[in-house]
Chains A and B, each alone.
Chain A
Amino acid sequence: MSWMKQTFNSSIGRKFAMALSALFLMFFLLQHFAINFTSVFSEQVFNDLSHFMGTNPLVQFALQPILIFGVVYHFVMGFVLEAKNRNARAVKYAKNNGAANSTWFSRNMIYSGMVILLFLAVHFYDFWIPEISTKYIQGDMSGLLANGEFRYYEEMVEKFHDPIRTGIYVLAFVFLALHLMHGFQSAFQSVGARHNKYTPAIQKLGKLYAIVIPAGFIFIALFHHLTGH
């Protein structure tokens, strides 16, 4: 397997792996958004979907570990590459005009990424850790409240009471949008998927995705903050 080690330790191999994890995360984000969005119009649909995702063995024990690996790889390698890249230019320019040749998002992926990572810590503390604790430590797989109703919608709405938490979520989604502005099309370039005919469409789709998905998440957070009971 030394060829694999060699490939994935090379500059191109790492870039490929960053792109693969990014593509997986973007797909995950889309389904996360789709499920969350149901909470806007139907408590029951949201509860049913949440219960399915939270208890289905394939989701829990196959997809969830892949997701965790993808997230961890993406940010750990992001830091490793950033350190290597900084090291590749030991003496900085006295004057550098980055805006002349590249976008702000593309040059600051590490910063938008760091904000998203901090947000993930908050998000895991809010939802993922209590979820894992309820299901796998307390062993309650029913997904029910004491009154016999599903707990998912209630738990979510309760979290968005807090204006500070809602504010943190909204801000994090803005940084997510900045990250995706460059990240979406960059992932395609990294895996070598570039074609005169399709690349302009991929770039447009990337911008659309980078705006619509985070804006949608912001809408959901604000919706529950403003209408929550």
Chain B
Amino acid sequence: MSANKGLNLTLKVWRQKNQDDKGQMETYQVKDISTDSSFLEMMDILNEQLIAEDKEPVAFDHDCREGICGMCSMYINGEAHGPGRGITTCQLHMREFNDGDTIYIEPWRAKAFPVIKDLVVDRGAFDRIMAAGGFVSVNTSGNTQDANAIPIEKANADKAFDAATCIGCGACVASCKNASAMLFVSAKVSQFALLPQGQVEAAERVQNMVKVMDEEGFGNCSNTGACEVECPKGISLENIARMNREYLSASFKSEEV
């Protein structure tokens, strides 16, 4: 195997001091980046370089660095989590790029996700949507039924599991031309609506979650399908169709006038 030649890259990175700062793109050069390094390692190298130059390092979100926590959130070269499918930013490797490339690195852009600093955005809107119904109420009376004792159709169990793999990273919102959160919300609605434990509160849940989603200022879905393509967990548009059905039937059937 021949030795990897390092990449010399031009990075255009969004820099913004705080929520109130206007912010702008800054250009940086990084040299001799190994093609084996991950994108975030490349960002670490950039930050080492900036610190050595006595400059402010680039703030970005990251945690597990193995594609499961949903923290990393970069819009790279015009795509959420960069080029490549079914991966988060931390799973993106520098071998996807060529020597001499210019790489644009921006935060998620949505009114509902305000920039806190540089590439870090506040995704608290997702938490508030979850708090509005993304759970199953349980009592602590001590006689809760064992989940394994409830028969669930295999097809539904699989679909619920697929929906539940959503890590809430927000790539769907970032990719959507309308900054709509419907893929996220529909995954959360679906994972419960498909299971007997979740069905009791299904109607109330979908109405409350959609209400908060709308209040948070996300845009409207126009079925472009960009979210599904960019989603690191491959959440299907089928979930949005299910949420539409759940929401409409809940609205029409509800006893509230």
Chain A residues in the interface with B (C-beta under 8 A): 1-3, 6-7, 10-16, 81, 84-85, 87-98, 100-103, 106-107, 109, 182, 185-186, 189-194, 196
Tell whether B235 is near chain A: CB-to-CB under 8 Å. no
Bound complex: CA of A15 vs CA of B77, how far in Å? 30
Kindly list 4 other residue pairs between chains A and B, CB separation below 8 angstroms, not including A91-B23, A194-B242: A10-B211, A94-B106, A97-B79, A191-B248
Q: How far is the CB of A186 from chain B (nearest CB, A)?
A: 4
- 11 A-B pairs with CB atoms under 8 Å apart are A10-B247, A16-B244, A85-B179, A85-B180, A94-B106, A101-B230, A102-B226, A106-B223, A191-B248, A192-B242, A192-B244
Interfacial chain B residues near A182, Cβ < 8 Å: 223-224
Tell whether B178 is near chain A: CB-to-CB under 8 Å. yes
Instruction: Say whether B218 contacts A88, CB under 8 Å.
Output: yes
Instruction: Say whether A3 contacts B251, CB under 8 Å.
Output: yes
Beyond A98-B226, A101-B175, A106-B225, is A194–B241 a contact (Cβ under 8 Å)? yes
Residue of B nearest to A186 (CB): B223
Instruction: Say whether B251 contacts A89, CB under 8 Å.
Output: no
Which of B46-54, B56-64, B108-116, B129-137 binds A? Answer: B108-116
Bound complex: CA of A18 vs CA of B175, how far in Å? 22
Q: How far is the CB of B105 from chain A (nearest CB, A)?
A: 9
Which of A1, A3, A81, A100 has the most chain B CB within a 10 Å cutoff?
A100
Residue of A nearest to B243 (CB): A12
Q: How far is the CB of A139 from chain B (nearest CB, A)?
A: 44
Q: How far is the CB of A30 from chain B (nearest CB, A)?
A: 21
Q: How far is the CB of A94 from chain B (nearest CB, A)?
A: 5
Instruction: Say whether B220 contacts A15, CB under 8 Å.
Output: yes
Residues facing A in B215-229 (CB within 8 A) are 217-226, 229
Interfacial chain A residues near B78, Cβ < 8 Å: 93, 95-98, 100
Beyond A87-B111, A102-B225, is A12–B79 a contact (Cβ under 8 Å)? no
Residue of B nearest to A9 (CB): B214
Tell whether B20 is near chain A: CB-to-CB under 8 Å. no
Q: How many residues of B contact A (CB 8 A)?
A: 52
Interfacial chain A residues near B192, Cβ < 8 Å: none
Q: How far is the CB of B16 from chain A (nearest CB, A)?
A: 10
Q: How far is the CB of A22 from chain B (nearest CB, A)?
A: 11
Instruction: Say whether A12 contacts B180, CB under 8 Å.
Output: no
Tell whether B256 is near chain A: CB-to-CB under 8 Å. yes
Q: How far is the CB of A191 from chain B (nearest CB, A)?
A: 7
Tell whether B68 is near chain A: CB-to-CB under 8 Å. no
Interfacial chain B residues near A186, Cβ < 8 Å: 222-223
Q: Which of B109, B177, B229, B247 contacts A12 (CB 8 A)?
A: B247
Q: How far is the CB of A3 from chain B (nearest CB, A)?
A: 6
Interfacial chain B residues near A88, Cβ < 8 Å: 110-112, 178-180, 217-219
Q: How far is the CB of A126 from chain B (nearest CB, A)?
A: 31
Beyond A85-B177, A95-B106, A109-B222, is A190–B244 a contact (Cβ under 8 Å)? yes
Instruction: Say whether A106 contacts B222, CB under 8 Å.
Output: yes
Interfacial chain A residues near B41, Cβ < 8 Å: none
Interfacial chain B residues near A92, Cβ < 8 Å: 109
Tell whether B33 is near chain A: CB-to-CB under 8 Å. no
Instruction: Say whether A11 contacts B225, CB under 8 Å.
Output: no
B186-220 vs A, Cβ < 8 Å mask (1 yes, 0 no) = 00000000000000000000000011011001111
Instruction: Say whether A12 contacts B104, CB under 8 Å.
Output: no
Residue of A nearest to B254 (CB): A3
Tell whether B90 is near chain A: CB-to-CB under 8 Å. no
Bound complex: CA of A193 vs CA of B254, how far in Å? 21
Tell whether B94 is near chain A: CB-to-CB under 8 Å. no
Which of A81, A89, A93, A106 has the most chain B CB within a 10 Å cutoff?
A89
Tell whether B240 is near chain A: CB-to-CB under 8 Å. yes
Tell whether B83 is near chain A: CB-to-CB under 8 Å. yes
Q: Which of B79, B182, B223, B244 contacts A100 (CB 8 A)?
A: B79
Tell whether B75 is near chain A: CB-to-CB under 8 Å. yes
Instruction: Say whether A94 contacts B25, CB under 8 Å.
Output: yes
Tell whether B162 is near chain A: CB-to-CB under 8 Å. no
Bound complex: CA of A185 vs CA of B225, how far in Å? 12
Residues facing A in B233-257 (CB within 8 A) are 237-238, 240-245, 247-248, 251-252, 254, 256-257
Bound complex: CA of A179 vs CA of B76, how far in Å? 30
Interfacial chain B residues near A189, Cβ < 8 Å: 223, 237, 240-241, 244
Beyond A16-B248, A88-B178, A90-B111, is A3–B256 a contact (Cβ under 8 Å)? yes
